[in-house]
Every structure is written in C-alpha cells, then in structure tokens.
Structure 1
Amino acid sequence: MKNKIIEYCLKKKGATKDYPFGPDPLVLKISGKMFALFFENKGYLNLKCDPVIAENLREQHETVRPAYHMNKQHWNTITIDGSLPVSDVFAMIDHSYDLVVKNLPKSLRESISKMN
C-alpha cells in the first residue's frame, strides 16, 4: 500500500517529492507547499484537512488522529495499517491536495490546471 500512496500523490498535477528533513519523512508538495508527509519507516501519513472534516474523521476512524508534529487543527495523521480502504486514504489525499491548491495564488492555480 505504501508504494500505491506515493504513486497516487505523485500523479497529482504539479506534485513533487522532497526529503527536507532527512530520509524520513517523504514530503509531497505542490508549488513548494506541503500537502502530505509520508513517514514510510513508521507507517503513517500526515495530511492537511479542513478542521471540521478532521474532527469527523478522527471520530469515525481509530487510525486517524491529530497530526504528529503538525498543527493539530489543520493536519491529521493516518496510520497505514490496512484497516482503512485505500479509496478512503486516496480521498483524504485528494482533500489535502485540493486545500493546498485552493490557497495558492491565482497564477499558480491556473498554471497547475493547465498541466497534463
């Protein structure tokens, strides 16, 4: 599942990967802004999330909790242990990516939307 998550993130328009904090976590960015941090060695994923949705996800899933080393209001940590369907994880990735793109300057949003 780990490789599927990385591949899915990198298929997002303009997504890039980086290791600014050392070998772990893998940081996935759009226009220099983080939308996912994947702690491959520890088996969890940090994703940006609307605060109301973040609370709902935490209530619904034991594997979703306030983010490790992040703003706990706006980021969730998802334990990747197979208990969540991959489609749910992908939906959370989509939400995180969309939140970050939405807050980029208009010119960057337009250039991203034109990418193949």
Structure 2
Amino acid sequence: MNLQDCIEYCLTKTGSVHDYQPLWDADRVKVGGKIFAIVGDLNGRSSITLKCPPALAERLRDEHQNIIPGYHMNKALWNTLFLNGKLEDALIRNMIDISYQEVRALLPAYVKKALAAGESLEAIK
C-alpha cells in the first residue's frame, strides 16, 4: 500500500475525516475528532502511524522489522509501519481496522451513538 491507498482505506471507516497538519507535514485521519491514523514520511520513508493494544503492538514490532514504536506518540499504544512494500497490504489494512476500533471505543457515548446511527458528526462538534 502507498500513502494514498492508506488514506483512502481509512476513509472507508464510518465517520472518518481527513485533514492535513502542516506543522507535522502529515495527513491525519480522525473519527469523532480523535486521530486514528497519521500518514506521511519519516526520514524520507513513507509511513503510517496507528493505535494498537499494547501486547499486540509489541508483538508486531518483534515480528516485523518495518514496524517500530509510534513516532512522536505513546510508544506503548502506537506503532509506525513503513510503507516500503515489505509489509502485506492485508496486515496494514488490519492494523488500520484495529486503530479505528481502538479510537472509536474511547469516544463519548453520544458520539458512538451518532456513528452507529450514521449521523453526521459535524452536527455534534
């Protein structure tokens, strides 16, 4: 997957919105106003940073050379995946799914209810 593929897949998630943070020189994808994916370059390498349960985050780092602790994020909860073609697309999509669910689970009940009902989150901001 490349950067654009990652953003496009993230945007298939209910209630997801995309923006660009010039200070970070990175694209962000959020749900309910909370980031679940940061897409950009890290030292010239395309990457995506995603939230993950701590035990899984550590296991993935041990198993894959192209997954490191989340850059500028809580190292226990976030991983950065390098998009250099060495990680399977299915793994990247699965990690995006997990990140989205991890972030969505922590949203306030009224936001979760709006997402479940398919309501626009713009109205509740």
TM-score (structure 2 length as normaliser): 0.86
Q: CA 1:73 to 1:21, structure 2 compared with 1: closer, same or farther past 3 Å?
A: farther
Label 1:67 to 1:107 Cα distance change in 2 as closer, same or farther (>3 A): same
Are positions 1:114 and 2:117 aligned together? yes
Q: CA deviation at 1:42?
A: 3.4
Which residue type is aligned with residue 15 of structure 1? S
What's the offset of the Cα at 1:19?
1.6
Structure 1 stretch 10-19 or stretch 22-31: which is displaced more? 22-31
- TM-score between the two structures when normalised by the length of structure 1: 0.92
- Listed as ranges, the gaps of 5+ residues in structure 1 are none
The alpha-carbon deviation at position 28 of structure 1 amounts to: 0.5
Q: Give 1:13 deviation, angstroms.
A: 0.4
User: Is contact 2:45–2:83 with CA below 8 Å preserved after alignment?
Assistant: no
For residues 1-116 of structure 1, the aligned pairs below 5 Å read 1-2=1-2, 3-22=4-23, 24-40=25-41, 42-115=45-118
Structure 2 unmatched runs, 5+: 120-125
**What's the offset of the Cα at 1:107?**
1.3
Identity %: 38
Return structure 1 stretches of 4+ with deviation > 4 angstroms. Answer: none
User: What does the per-residue CA deviation read over 1:79-98, in whole Å, with 9 as the maximum and x for residues that have no partner?
Assistant: 00111111100000000000
Q: Matched residue of 1:36: which SS?
A: strand
Deviations 1:3-25 (A, max 9, x none): 22111001110000112344721
